[in-house]
Amino acid sequence: MELLSTNVCFDGEHRRYRHHSAALDCDMEFAVYLPPAALGASARKVPALYWLSGLTCTDQNFMQKAGAQKKAARLGMALVCPDTSPRGLDLPGEHDSYDFGSGAGFYVNAIRQPWAPHYRMYDYVVKELPQLVESHLPITEDRSISGHSMGGHGALIAALKNPGHYRSVSAFAPIANPSECPWGQKAFSGYLSDDRRAWEEWDATLLIPTARERLPLLVDQGTADEFLDSQLNPDALADACEKVHHHINLRMHRGYDHSYFFIASFIDDHLEHHAEALGLK
């Protein structure tokens, strides 16, 4: 891993790294916040929250706008934030729209060309990146996962598809039923197939009935979110959970939109949720 930058933050360190990803076959950058407990003479390994960002974002959006470091420092929790897609490939059509290709990997493993050799963000965030940071940084194998919008979708499917891999999961304004919204349909048809049956393993609402582990879901959603009705559909996720008694705490927040102002307002609640599962409280 090549260290790109480091900043002291609440007596911890915010670091940015570059490495070559075998899963994506390209160079990738990601960010890590190490709390004070992981640094210095009395340093110890700490658990981590993996944060998956939304469309058009990189690792820098969450780290600079969410205001999570202060609480993470107090809890003794690392934050790991990957990018949202492969970079530097310049595949045909990759940069043509904001909701497909560059910045829009959707946390799936693509099977259609030319995306299949590189757009494997699911394998990257679930397998490769944790192995990398847990091998080279003072981070334990105790993991939680969260995310926003497209990243909320990614966090939910990562937890639902990998029993025992994460201690807890949460999401802000997730794309909860991507098979039934324009963003998801565009991504799934482009990366996967026109056969909707191939989409089912990447849709949190459709995974709920057969989930082999039922981690409680914490989902925050703003009522003034401009994408609520057309893209996000949290009610479908809640209905699926109710039918199989999968615990979900869906909190609707009056007046909040889709921005990082919303995330910053409630990020501490999510960190507390994960801290309890990670044994930090």
Mind listing the pLDDT tens digit of every residue in the chain (281 residues)? 999 999 999 999 999 999 999 999 999 999 999 999 999 888 999 999 999 999 999 999 999 999 999 999 999 999 999 999 999 999 999 999 999 999 999 999 999 999 999 999 999 999 999 999 999 999 999 999 999 999 999 999 999 999 999 999 999 999 999 999 999 999 999 999 999 999 999 999 999 999 999 999 999 999 999 999 999 999 999 999 999 999 999 999 999 999 999 999 999 999 999 999 999 98
Residue among 39, 1, 38, 33 nearest 17 (CA): 1
- Structural domain of 252: 2-278
pLDDT value at position 207?
A: 98
**Given 21, 225, 270, 273, the catalytic residue:** 225
How far apart, in whole angstroms, are the C-alpha atoms of residue 99 and residue 64? 22
**Given 14, 118, 153, 258, the catalytic residue:** 258
Residue among 263, 200, 279, 275 nearest 52 (CA): 263
How far apart, in whole angstroms, are the C-alpha atoms of residue 197 and residue 257? 32
Active-site residue flag, 20? no
Handedness of CA 201, 231, 158, 246 (dihedral sign): negative
pLDDT value at position 54?
A: 98
pLDDT value at position 42?
A: 86
How far apart, in whole angstroms, are the C-alpha atoms of residue 72 and residue 74? 5
Give the CA distances from residue 132 to residues 20, 23, 82, 183, in Å, rounded to whole numbers and listed in that order.
11, 12, 12, 30
Active-site residue flag, 258? yes
Active-site residue flag, 225? yes
How far does Cα 246 stand from its chain's mean position?
A: 20
- The SS3 call for residue 242 is helix
How far apart, in whole angstroms, are the C-alpha atoms of residue 55 and residue 183? 10
**Count of CB atoms situated within 10 Å of the CB of 279:** 9
Phi-psi region of 173 (alpha: psi -120 to 50; beta: other; left: phi over 0): left
- Which CATH number is 42's domain given? 3.40.50.1820
Q: Which long-range contacts (CB under 8 A, 24 or more apart) does 85-93 make?
A: 85/119, 85/121, 86/21, 86/24, 86/25, 86/26, 86/28, 86/118, 86/119, 86/121, 87/26, 87/27, 87/28, 87/29, 88/26, 88/27, 89/26, 89/118, 91/115, 91/118
Burial of residue 33, with CB atoms counted within 10 A of its CB: 0-12 exposed, 13-18 middle, 19 or more buried: buried
CB 25 within 8 A of CB 118: yes
Question: How many domains does the chain fold into?
Answer: 1
How far apart, in whole angstroms, are the C-alpha atoms of residue 235 and residue 250? 9
pLDDT value at position 281?
A: 83
How far apart, in whole angstroms, are the C-alpha atoms of residue 191 and residue 114? 9
**Given 102, 149, 168, 170, the catalytic residue:** 149
* DSSP code for 87: -
How far apart, in whole angstroms, are the C-alpha atoms of residue 275 and residue 147? 16
pLDDT value at position 189?
A: 98
pLDDT value at position 41?
A: 84
